[in-house]
Structure 1
Amino acid sequence: MTLESGVWVDPRKMMQAIRDAGFTPVPEDVRMTLTGILESRDGRWVLKLDRMKTLMELPCDDGRQDGPLARAPKENAGRVVEVRGRWIAEGPGALEVETISDAVADR
């Protein structure tokens, strides 16, 4: 599913809607491509989504020690980037980052 810019659908609510419709959701299959500004806070990465109608921040994790966030150039911090990854449904939710690239201007 592709959402309009500025719109956020809570993956937990989406999973519940699928369940309520009689289907079995597979949280591990939820993949996201997002743009925003990566910020490092207390040793953790947060993606502040851009073009949102209301402020939305998403915690980001590396799936492995040598993952994209560990290799992320410091110059990416504070710049709008495109982040692709898998939704982690446990706890408050997070994005397991698979790739980080320059954001495409004006999609």
Structure 2
Amino acid sequence: MIATQFHVQGGLTKAEGGVELFQNSPNPFIEMTLLWFRLPSMASVVLRIFDAKGKEVNAKHGTFDPGENHVVLHRTDLREPGLYTCRLETPFGTASRKLMMY
């Protein structure tokens, strides 16, 4: 049910099942960044943010329409500047991206 294979194509990570996670913009960021993703149909989504040690520091939940969507991530959503991993979890699969906060 959850894909474990990822394909990197033109600035995005695509999981089996049609879900795509684009590189956040801007990256690196200071105050805020947009986490863009594409879904094949309406779905409940969780975007989990992990610090460099692998500890979950934030999660954003929502139901999104098919097509491109985004979630805003603010500086205050994270603990401190550094490297983070964003993991998109959907019924169609999962995808991950690195992001950097200054």
Structure with greater Cα Rg: 1
Range into which the TM-score falls when normalised by the shorter chain: under 0.3
Higher relative contact order (CA 8 A, sep 6+): 2
Comparing both structures, which one devotes a greater share of its residues to helix?
A: 1
Comparing both structures, which one devotes a greater share of its residues to strand?
A: 2
TM-score of the superposed pair, with normalisation by structure 1: 0.26
